[in-house]
Structure formats: C-alpha cells, structure tokens
C-alpha cells in the first residue's frame, strides 16, 4: 500500500489547499471506464471553436475576454458561495467597467449558492456548442450533493451576442462520494480533430474526459471516467506533435516516490505513458521556440522545506520544459530546468518560495515565441512573508531563455500597491491578448490582498509588458461581496492549477 508524502504548507494557505495539494500515489497501469454518453449532438459547422479568439470571446466582438474566479465571495448572507467575474476585452484592455458577475444565483445558471461551495475555484472557456461564441466552464470542487460535502460539480454558462446567459450542469461520473472534489482542475482542447472542443476534469476520485460537441443541456458526445488515476491534481491539453489534435497530459500530484508529481502522457490509443524524467504539479502548453509544435511547461513548487518525501524541487521551486516535435514528447526526453538560482533569473531561491505554483504561457512582445510567466506566491518581499511575485521568462528560437527575464512584485516600479505579508501575488498567472494587438497582457492574481483579492494587469508591447500605467482591480471593485471569508478574487484564472 502506498502512503501519502508529508507536505508542510505555511499557515497562510487555506486548509482547502491541502485537499488538492496532497495526492495519493497514482498507478502506472491505468484503465478507463466508459460511461453512458450524454444526449447526441447534431453536427454543426466548425466555426473556429479552438481558435484563440473564439475560445475566450464570450460576446463575439472579436476581443478575448477574461474569467477571474473569486471562490470566497459571498452571495447575500451565504458566505463563500463563490463567484466568477468576466472582464470583457477591448482595445483599451479588460477592465471592471465592462464586466459580468456570474454566481449560482444568476438567472439560468444551475445550482443554488450554499455556504463554502466556492463556485469559481477553477475556470476556463471554449466554444462547446460551436455557435461561434465562447462558453464559460466553472469548476466547484467543494459543491455538496445531498448530505455529502465536497462532491464537486462542473457548470457551463453559454456565450452569445450579449455575453454570457443561461447555463447547464455537465454530468459528473456516477458514484462520486464525499470529498471527491470533482471540478478542481479543468482543461480544454480538440483531441479528436473534429473542431469541437473536448474537456478534461480532475478531482480526488479520478479524472474525467468529455468528447465534444456539447448540447445546450450540457451533454457531451461521450464521457469517460479514468478511475485508476486516483487523486489527480491537474491536466494540460495542447498539440505537441503538430497533427492538429491536442494531447492530454495528466498531473496526479505528489506520490510516495515523487513528491514533485509524475507526468503522464495520454496517447491516441487512450493509453497512458509516464514521462519518467519529468515532474509537475501545474502545467501549460505553448510554442516557446516557434517551431510549430507545442511545448509542455510544468511547475514544481515544493522544495525540501515543504516536503519530507523523495525528489523535491530545487530550493524555492522550479519549472521544467519539454519540447514538442513531430514525435511529440517522448519518455526519454530530459526536461530543461529553470529556477531562481539559474543564471539570469532575478532573485534567489529560498525555502517555500513556491516558484512554479502557477504558470502562464503567451507571446507578450509579438515576436511569435511564447513566453512563460511563473508565479511565486510564497516569495518574501523584504520582511513581508508570502507577499508573492511573478517572473517572466522569454521564448526564443533556442527555447526558453533567461535573457531579459523580469521579476514583478507589488513593490516593482509602476505596479500599483505595496507588497504585504500574505498577499500571495502570483497565486494565479495568465498571459492573454485582450486588446487584439498581437501581444499578450500579463495577468497576475493576488487573492490574499486585504481579505479581498486583486488582479494586476500590464499591457504587452514590442519590448514586453509595460508596468507604467498598469492597473489593479480588487474583488469589491469588480462587483463581488465579502461576508466573513476572504473573497479570494484572483485565485483562479484560465488554465491555472493553483488553489491557494
């Protein structure tokens, strides 16, 4: 029998973080159980369901939009029911002046706000029904089912010409029990190559995949429950072999033999292969070296100060990069490893920095190479512990480079505010072009800011992110409310696997 590794988490991090941060051992021989399909979906023309614009454009105005989770937000007197704030993109950026707040009390959205549901723990988007508008996916792993706490749920809110309106529950696997945490992690991508997005969902009782297209009742063409993954922290989807179809990579989380977390690649035949030289608890895919193949970036944040198991990360945490090719990512590939003590990376690796806890991948300067934004929410800034930071590393023809790397905290010139203990700046990171100028904006969540949380946004430019004129948006300014629990606005951004 395997046993859980001991992972020591600073008291500033919520107890709910522990449920997903500590994972049981995953087996190397994995099986899948086919479940009854949802209602059959009529074939519809592919209207760009997986292009970057349509994947994130909820209202069809040509600008990508941004969903921000606020899982601690109150709904009236219901504490920590949770909310998602959608900031609509425009030529001037995504701001709180043009927003929609989605909760389980929103007309047409299924479910009922309940205390500690934490709706908005995970968010992503895709055009699930192929109508040309992005749809919002919301994971709520703390959702109760009857008398059972923490069973979890997945909700879709439909996009359209006026924005998000109406929704449906996506059918979970049968037999989920208390604490299964279904919906803790989400990823989308076209695995079958038919133009319809497919969805992967993680949780404490296994992983679930849905094959699109989806109907307006939330039914998928097929649902598959991968029950031998056990507790599964995260999943990443993207095309790493250039065949026009996304591959899935599963990140089960810490195990006895690998507290940094194994990485499994799912083949076209549905079989799972461990990448024995790779680790990761968070992940993103983007074309870092511009060769037309997606590259897998994983975050390995737990160092020896936070674990007592084998194979911890470099002091302060690290990231790893596996490069795609015509053969995809093969088991024998040795990852590129970067940490805060790598030459050219600002700062120094210190115990518990959590470098790599969150990742964003996108092209911030328009040079056609994807850059990587690394969240470091455990970083101390002066005497302010867990104030947090983020580091931007540049893509290039030779791969990810530390040349020109930049570090950001709330004490950086041009960044509004001041670094304070427990802000956890960098708990979630995202790179996305919301202004349609070909250069991704930097998005950084700081959910611990003043019991409210905030999102920092800096515009991309030919020289990279511009801090001058950058903005912050707090949870209350974005329209969500606090009762007793911290709002945690900015705890979740699309693709982010962090739950702190």
pLDDT for 52 equals 66
HEC letters along 360-414:
EEECCCCCCCCEEEEEECCCCECCECCCEEEEEEECCCCCCEEEEEEEECCCCCC
DSSP character for 464?
A: S
Answer yes or no: is 115 within a domain. no
Count of domains forming the chain: 1
pLDDT for 308 equals 74
Answer yes or no: is 321 within a domain. yes
Answer yes or no: is 75 within a domain. no
pLDDT for 228 equals 57
Judge whether 130 and 195 are in contact, CB under 8 Å: yes
pLDDT for 362 equals 96
Answer yes or no: is 52 within a domain. no
Nearest to 492 by CA among 74, 139, 149: 139
- What radius of gyration, in Å, describes the C-alpha atoms of the chain? 20
Judge whether 362 and 432 are in contact, CB under 8 Å: yes
pLDDT for 229 equals 56
Answer yes or no: is 39 within a domain. no
Q: How far apart are CA 279 and CA 259, in angstroms?
A: 9
Answer yes or no: is 138 within a domain. no
Q: Phi and psi (nearest 5°) for 52?
A: -60, -40
Domain of 230, CATH number, reads 2.130.10.130
Q: What are the average pLDDT values for consecutive 10-residue runs of the chain, which has 500 residues?
A: 39 36 31 34 39 83 95 96 96 91 96 96 94 94 92 96 94 90 94 90 90 85 68 88 93 84 87 92 96 96 84 91 96 97 97 96 97 98 97 98 97 96 97 95 97 96 95 96 96 67
Answer yes or no: is 7 within a domain. no
Contacts of 94 (CB under 8 A, 6+ apart): 65, 66, 87, 88, 434, 441, 457
**Measured in whole angstroms, how far is the alpha carbon of residue 140 from the centre of its chain?**
14
Phi-psi region of 414 (alpha: psi -120 to 50; beta: other; left: phi over 0): left
Phi-psi region of 183 (alpha: psi -120 to 50; beta: other; left: phi over 0): left
Q: Is 467 exposed, middle or buried (0-12, 13-18, 19+ CB in 10 A)?
A: middle
Would you call 358 helix, strand, or coil by DSSP? strand
Contacts of 433 (CB under 8 A, 6+ apart): 52, 64, 362, 363, 439, 440, 441, 460
Q: Which domain holds residue 304?
A: 172-474
Answer yes or no: is 451 within a domain. yes
């Amino acid at each position: 029998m395997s046993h859980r590794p001991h992972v020591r988490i600073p008291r500033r991090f919520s107890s709910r973080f522990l449920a997903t941060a500590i994972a049981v051992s995953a087996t190397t021989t994995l099986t899948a159980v086919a479940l009854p399909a949802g209602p059959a979906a009529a074939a519809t023309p592919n209207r760009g369901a997986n292009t970057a614009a349509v994947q994130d454009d909820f209202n069809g105005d040509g600008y990508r939009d941004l969903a921000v989770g606020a899982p601690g937000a109150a709904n009236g007197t219901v504490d920590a029911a949770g909310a998602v704030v959608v900031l609509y993109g425009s030529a001037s950026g995504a701001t709180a002046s043009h927003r929609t707040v989605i909760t389980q009390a929103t007309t047409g959205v299924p479910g009922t706000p309940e205390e500690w549901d934490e709706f908005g723990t995970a968010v992503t988007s895709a055009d699930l029904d192929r109508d040309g508008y992005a749809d919002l996916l919301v994971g709520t792993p703390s959702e109760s089912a009857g008398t059972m706490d923490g069973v979890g749920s997945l909700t879709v809110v439909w996009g359209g010409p006026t924005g998000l309106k109406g929704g449906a529950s996506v059918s979970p696997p049968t037999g989920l029990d208390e604490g299964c945490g279904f919906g803790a992690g989400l990823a989308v991508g076209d695995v079958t190559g038919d133009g319809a997005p497919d969805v992967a969902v993680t949780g404490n009782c296994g992983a679930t995949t849905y094959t699109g297209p989806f109907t307006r009742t939330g039914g998928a063409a097929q649902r598959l429950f991968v029950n031998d993954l056990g507790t599964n922290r995260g999943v990443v989807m993207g095309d790493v072999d250039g065949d026009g179809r996304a591959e899935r990579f599963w990140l089960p989380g810490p195990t006895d033999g690998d507290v940094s977390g194994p990485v499994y690649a799912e083949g076209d035949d549905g079989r799972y292969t461990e990448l024995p030289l790779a680790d990761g608890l968070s992940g993103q895919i983007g074309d870092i070296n511009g060769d037309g193949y997606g590259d897998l970036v994983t975050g390995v944040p737990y160092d020896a100060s936070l674990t007592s198991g084998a194979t911890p990360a470099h002091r302060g945490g690290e990231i790893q990069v596996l490069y795609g090719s015509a053969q995809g990512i093969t088991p024998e590939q040795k990852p590129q490893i970067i940490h805060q003590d790598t030459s050219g990376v600002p700062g120094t690796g210190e115990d518990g920095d959590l470098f790599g806890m969150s990742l964003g991948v996108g092209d911030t300067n328009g040079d056609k190479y994807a850059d990587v934004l690394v969240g470091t929410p455990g970083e101390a800034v002066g005497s302010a512990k867990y104030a947090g930071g983020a580091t931007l590393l540049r893509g290039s023809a030779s791969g990810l480079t530390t040349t020109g790397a930049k570090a950001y905290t709330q004490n950086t010139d041009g960044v509004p505010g001041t670094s304070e203990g427990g802000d956890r700046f960098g708990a979630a990171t995202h790179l996305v072009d919301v202004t349609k100028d070909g250069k991704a904006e930097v998005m950084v969540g700081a959910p611990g800011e003043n019991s409210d949380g905030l999102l920092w946004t800096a515009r991309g430019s030919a020289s990279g992110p511009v801090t001058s004129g950058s903005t912050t948006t707090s949870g209350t300014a974005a329209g969500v409310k606090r009762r007793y629990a911290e709002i945690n606005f900015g705890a979740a951004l699309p693709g982010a696997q962090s739950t702190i």
